[in-house]
Structure formats: C-alpha cells, structure tokens
Amino acid sequence: MTPGLVVRPIDTCGEYAVAWVRTRVARYPGHDARLAFTLTNTVPWLSTVRRVDVHRLNAICVSMNLSVLVMEEFPMLSATKGLPWLAFGLLAVLVVSHVAPAWAQDLVPIGDWALDDGQSSPFTLTAIDSSASANNGTLMNFPSQPTWGVGAYDGALRFDGIDDRVDMGDPASLDLTGAMSMSFWMGRLGANAQAYAPLVGKNFSGGSVNDGYYVNSMTNSQIVFGITPAIGDAAVTLGSNALVPNGTWHHVVTTFDPGNRMAIYIDGVLDNELTVGVPTEIRSVTSPFTLGNLGAGSSTNAYSFKGYLDEVKVFNGVLGLPQIQSLAEPPPGSAGDPTPAVLVSHWKLDDGQADPNTTTAVDTTPSASNGILTNFDSPASWDTGKIDGALTFDGANDRVEMDMSAELDITGDLSMAFWLKPNGSGAAKYGALAGKNMSGGQESDGFFTDIVYTRSVNNETVAAGTIEFAITSDGANHVVRSNTAISLTDDTWHHVAVVYDDGSRMAIYIDGVLNGELTINVPEACDSPFTTPFCLGNLYPEDLLNPPIYGYKGVMDDVRVYTGVLTAAEIAELAGIGTTPGDANNDGHVDEQDAKALAANWGTTVATWSMGDFNGDKVVNAIDASILAANWGYGSGEAASMVPEPSTLILLVGGLFGLLMRRQSSRRG
C-alpha cells in the first residue's frame, strides 16, 4: 500500500515551505503530477499528499526543516475528514522532527572565491574573496603564470597535483565551530599522489588534532567530509557513495548540523548522510583555510589535488535543498545543443573483395574522399571484416592517405566511428588510427584517434590498449582517454566511436558504451591544418622520404566521419547494440517480435543484439530470456502486472522456438 503524507510546518514558514516542496519535488521524475498540497494558515498542521514516494519526500522535507508525519494511504483528506481518522487511531504516524537555521531565504556566503581572477589578470597570484569577509587567498607554489582555465562558471583554477595550494590564512570568520556548509565545483584530472587530496577546508599536516572541517578527494575518486570534534582527537568522517570521475565537472556540497547531521550532496542530490555520532561542535584550530592542499605554513607537501576548482563558497549555516540545487545548476547556455551528425565520409574497406590488387579505399559518400594505400605490401592484406571485408595494417609504416577535401577539414562539432581488431603492439609507443595527425609536432594536427602500446601521445605512461581521442587547438593537443583498455591479443572486434561537441564535451565510446569523457577545458574549435590529409593507420609524414612508424597493428573496418555529434543511441546502433534491454529490433518496444528474434537464434554462440544477445556474451540463452522478461511491455504503456514472470517468458520463447523448428522441418519435408 502506497503511503500518504501529512506535513506540519515549523513556525510561520509553512506556505513558503509547501511552495518549495511542491516545485522542488517535481525535479524527481514521476512525482511532479502526483503532489497536491492544501495547506493554509487556517489549518497549519494538516495538508495532503497522495501516492508519493514517502521516503524520498520525507528526506526532502527534513532537509528543508519541516516536521513530517507519515501515514498509510488514504483518500484526499480535509481537516474535517482527517479528524475522525485521528480520533479512531487508524493512522500509523511517524514523527520526524528536525529544527535547523531558517531556510526561507538563501544563506549568504562568508567566503566566496569565484577563482576566475585570471580572466582579467593572468599573472595574478591572488584569489579574491567577494564576500563581505574579504578573505583573499594567496596562490602558493604555483608557476608565475598559474593555469587559469575555463570553469563551470566563467574561469577556474588548475592545481598540479604536486604542491599547489591557495592559502587564506586563519581569519576569525572562517574559524567555524557550529553549523556550516561548503559548496564548490570540482574537475578531477587524475589520481592523487597520496591516499587523499584536500579540496577545501582546514586540514593541516601533522594529524587530525590540527584539523577543523574539510573535504578531501580520495585516490579512488570518493569524496570524504570530515569534522574534528571539540572534544577528542579523531575526526568524524562521512564518505560519498558515488565516485567523482575524472574529466568532468561535478558540484559538491557538504553540510554540518551540530549533533544532528552531516551530509554530502553531489550535483544537487543527497548522496550520503550521517545522523548518529555527529559532533556537537567543531574544534577551533589556528590552521589556515586552504584549497587544493594541506595547510602547511610555507612548506610543501605531496597531498595535493590534481584538477580544477571553481566557485568555492563557505556558509555559517546549513544550506537547504533549494539553495543546494540552485548552486548545482550549470549556468544558462553553458552547454548548447550539439549539432546533429551528418555523414561526410565512409570507407567500408571491403574494396579488396572485388579486386584484391586494388590500392584504393573508396569513400562511398558524395564527398568521394578516396584513400590511397601507401607502403602496403602488394597486394595489400584484405581480410574478413566485421561487416564484409576489412584491411589489415602492419604496425610499422602502412597508411591509407585520403584525398584532400573540404568535407574533412572540420573545425567544429565532429564524430568518428570504426571497427578495429588489434593484433599485438606496433613498432612505436602508440598506433595512429584515424584523423589528421602529422609527424613532427602538434602544430600540424587537427583531430585524431590512436591506440596506446607503451606510452600516450603526450608521452605519459598509460595502459596498453587505451584509446585516445585528441582535438588540437592553438597548436596544443586536448586529449581524452578511454577508462578501460581493450586487449591487443584476444582477436576480438571492438567498435570505437568518438565525439567532439565544441567547447562542451569530448567522449569515447567502446562497443557502444561511454568509456571516457572530458568536459573540462574543452577547446572551442579544432585547428584546421589544410596541408595535413586525413589518414588511417598511421601519421602523415612531415618528411615523405622518412615515413613515420607510428602504425596501428591489426584489422580495421567500416570507418565513418561525421560533422556534428552522434547521439548515444546512434552510436549504440552502429555498434550493433540496442539501448533498451530486451528490444532486439530497436523499435522502442519489448514485445513478441523481440521474443521471436530471441527464439529464432536460441543457442547461437556468435550472436548480436538484434539476435537476442542482450548481455553481450555472444550467446543467446536463458539469461537473455530473463532480461527480456524483466523489460516485457516497455514502450507499450502496459501496466506492471502485465509483465510476465521469467519462467513464463522462457516457456513462451521455448514455444516459439519449437514452432520455428516444426516449420523448418515441414519445409524440408
């Protein structure tokens, strides 16, 4: 039975509270149309809500300083109808009481560092505090020209992960001992050198006895919020459930309600909270308030954050959920709609099927940017592809060099997609896959992908089999890497897709699934090296008499280039997988047609998504049938009661399978 809810406001904030609950709960999908309050000042203790997620709404109301009473489901009540229910004791009531600082108006920060100071003065070593406290920070151990990058809002400051820190000293306004909150944007760019990296707060080297309040980023990307109590040496810590990945902006808020609650919010959503053993007071310490590293006087240490911080704020009170969500919202127009993808070149690489001696890779689009096979053996090694034929590269100096065409001189939104099957390591530290990448320096590059053998394109140590995607802007490479590496020796086809949404996002998809993403400091435009042709399998040589050996070793098939940004669904389709589990034919419905596809291919060991392989193990079996069962009726508007049990669906699949076998037998007869 779905519970209902009665809300009693605290003091005179009732109408404001209800308005916020009504508008903010609408952020949670499925709740917006089911919320109905009738609270008035004349009936200050009774309102009604029907068919809502009580546990979620309870948490919201508690965070907004309301008392919440939860009861079993009931019809829409008025005050007069509700009283008999109360009188007869038919309501199972749970009272959740939470009184915190007033939240009816937004808290004003006592520390506010926008960290966009470098936009007006690139060489400044001061982080301005725009709050009334005016606690400016000093950039310590930074180079003479710090890296002021593009932030979540305006500018941001990059920390090197070695010894950079911003030191605000120990002003009285930041010596907080009671209720407080911290808010900031972070863009993590790599693992910490130590077990943790301080982000914001009073976190001094030498043990927790010198600490007050702080937020750290752990090596595993977890966020940890710490409060050192006034009595006792050990800090009370709360870790996030979610991990904050590299390469993307995320908003973090921590709140401390003495004796009651510590909480972490990530991207405007409550991630974790502690309500037992919460300190009643923060230890007052003389340690400095710092960003990006421990407060260690003038000395340096390795507990340093690697990445960007932006819009750091400190409050001497507990932020309410509305303000937290407001702080977590990206600025208007910060991420415009990407341009839809338009195919401009398509090399199927099956040319050798018709003529094994050909040295041309035909572009089947109107662009006609045909490629010339260069340095290949004669004849070239045309192989069996993922789709029809394919071309094998030797890992040394083979390359396919495309005709110069305006269609491939792309400077804005773009996408590339192809199949590859590696066959060991090439002769160099990485193998060029596809794009505009010339030997001899980044100033001649545009956009390209490669696969790592020993070191990255930027000469960093990276796992072999990592896919890299680079956009060159102003002569410098901006690189995103896949989170996982593909095997160089398992003789398996993998689909790779990369997308560039100018100024907003670079991403890598492997086998139809997002596998690496960059949203921090993404260049606004790609360089346009008119003299560098698009190549497959190797760099274009700066010196034609000395061809580069940054060759890809393996087979490549079905290479596509687009202007615009491929969607996740389009990439999944190219990779041969669907986006809805159980939807074999990708028509947006999980129904009998999908069951028939699964039955027709039951037991197949080289299966694809369209054949009923929904878990990617290339086998169509009972696991796939259970996935189909779990999603039965999706897209049809059927009620949950219409979803068959897995055992029932397996019988259905078995029946369809038997029917197909009988038909085939009768045809043979």
CB 91 within 8 A of CB 302: no
Helix 592-600 / helix 622-630 crossing angle, nearest 10 deg: 180
CB-based contacts of 178, cutoff 8 Å, min separation 6? 258, 281, 282, 316
pLDDT band at residue 206, thresholds of 50, 70 and 90? low
Q: What is the pLDDT of residue 18?
A: 38
pLDDT at 565: 92
**Residue whose tokens read 């911080």:** 309
Average pLDDT over residues 572-588: 77
pLDDT bin (cut points 50, 70, 90) of residue 545 is: low
In DSSP notation, 362-423 reads -B-STT---EEEES--SS--EEE-SSSEEEEEESSS-EEEEPP-GGG---SSEEEEEEEEE-
Give the whole-angstrom CA distance, residue 545 versus residue 203: 58
User: Where does residue 558 fall: left (phi above 0), alpha (psi -120 to 50 degrees), or beta otherwise?
Assistant: left
Spatial distance between the Cα atoms of 277 and 259, rounded to a whole number of angstroms: 7
Handedness of CA 268, 272, 277, 279 (dihedral sign): negative
| CA triple 116-118-123, angle to 5 deg | 155
Which H/E stretch holds residue 595? helix 592-600
pLDDT of residue 664: 53
Q: Across-strand partners of 111?
A: 314
Indicate the range of 457-466, 609-618, 640-649 predicted with least confidence. 640-649
- The whole-angstrom separation of Cα 34 and Cα 434 is 51
Q: What is the C-alpha separation between 301 and 335, in angstroms, rounded?
A: 37
Nearest to 559, CA basis, from 379, 356, 391: 391
Please name which of 271, 278, 373 lies closest in space to residue 321, comparing C-alpha atoms: 271
Please give the helix or strand (H or E) that residue 664 lies within, else none.
helix 646-668
Beta strands at 430-435 and 447-452: parallel, antiparallel or unpaired: antiparallel
Residue with more model confidence, 645 or 521: 521
Cα separation, 94 vs 61, in Å, equals 14
Buried residues in 39-48 as b, exposed as e (16+ CB within 10 A): beeeeeebbb
> Quick check: 237 and 280 in contact, CB under 8 A?
no
Question: Distance between CA atoms of 111 and 317, rounded to whole angstroms?
Answer: 12
| Residue 627 neighbours by CB under 8 Å, 6+ apart | 581, 582, 614, 615
**Per-residue pLDDT for 207 more than 90?**
no
Q: Specify the 3-state DSSP secondary structure of 574.
A: helix
- What would the DSSP string read from start to end of 483-495? SSPPPSSS---EE
Give the per-residue pLDDT at 525. Answer: 85
Q: Which helix (H) or strand (E) holds 314?
A: strand 306-315
Token pair listed for 428: 């160099």
Kindly report which listed range (10-19, 426-435, 529-538) carries the lowest average pLDDT score.
Answer: 10-19
Query: Which is nearest to 236 in space by CA: 245, 244, 225?
Result: 225
pLDDT of 161 above 90: no
Poorest-pLDDT segment among 48-52, 164-168, 246-250, 325-329: 48-52
Q: What is the mean pLDDT of residues 222-229?
A: 94
Q: Name the band, by pLDDT with cuts 50, 70 and 90, for residue 470.
A: very high
Give the tens place of pLDDT for each residue, 77-124: 333 333 333 333 322 223 333 333 333 357 999 999 999 999 888 899
Complete edge-to-edge strand list for the sheet that includes strand 94-96: 4-8, 67-71, 94-96
pLDDT digits (tens, 9 = 90+) for 3-35: 333 333 322 333 333 333 433 333 333 333 223
Going 168 to 173 to 174 to 175, the CA torsion angle's sign is positive
pLDDT on residue 324: 94
User: What is the structure's pLDDT at 329?
Assistant: 87
CA-to-CA distance for 560 and 551, rounded, in angstroms?
19
> What kind and span of H or E run contains 662?
helix 646-668
Instruction: Using only the alpha carbons of the chain, give its radius of gyration.
Output: 30
Residue 205 has which token pair?
């080297």
For the chain, the farthest-separated pair of C-alpha atoms sits apart, in whole angstroms, at 96
How far apart, in whole angstroms, are the C-alpha atoms of residue 590 and residue 398?
45
Q: Please give the model's pTM, rounded to 2 decimal places.
A: 0.60
Total number of residues shown for the chain: 669
Q: Tokens for 77, please give them.
A: 């009540």
Burial state string for 81-98 with b = 16 or more CB within 10 A and e = fewer than 16: ebeeeeeeeebeeeeeeb
Per-residue pLDDT tens for 271-307? Answer: 999 999 999 999 998 889 999 988 765 455 678 898 8
Is residue 239 a contact partner of residue 223, using CB atoms and an 8 Å limit? yes
Q: Kind and range of the H or E element at 625?
A: helix 622-630
Q: How far apart are CA 108 and CA 90, in angstroms?
A: 44
What is the distance between the alpha carbons of residues 521 and 506, in angstroms, rounded to a whole number? 10
Task: Report how far apart, in Å, the C-alpha atoms of 631 and of each of 601, 617, 640, 654, 663 are.
Answer: 19, 19, 10, 18, 28
pLDDT at 224 over 70: yes
What three-state secondary structure class fits 324? helix
**Domains in the chain, start-ordered, CATH in brackets?**
4-96 (no CATH), 111-328 (2.60.120.200), 342-574 (2.60.120.200), 592-668 (no CATH)
The pLDDT of residue 543: 62
Indicate the average pLDDT of the chain: 77
Token pair of 155 as six digits: 């500018």
Q: What angle, rounded to 10 degrees, do the helices at 14-25 and 321-328 form?
A: 40
Task: Give the single-character DSSP code of 45.
Answer: T
Structure tokens at 550: 């940054």
Question: Over 60: is that where the pLDDT of 139 sits?
Answer: yes
**CB within 8 A of 92, min separation 6: which ones?**
71, 72
- The tally of CA atoms less than 13 A away on the side-chain side of residue 573 is 9
In the sheet with 535-536, reading across from the earlier edge strand, the strands are: 360-361, 371-374, 399-402, 535-536, 430-435, 447-452, 467-473, 476-481
For residue 83, the model assigns a pLDDT of 36
Q: Is the pLDDT of residue 553 over 60?
A: yes
Write out pLDDT tens, residues 323-375. 999 999 876 544 445 678 889 999 999 999 999 999 999 999 989 999 999 99
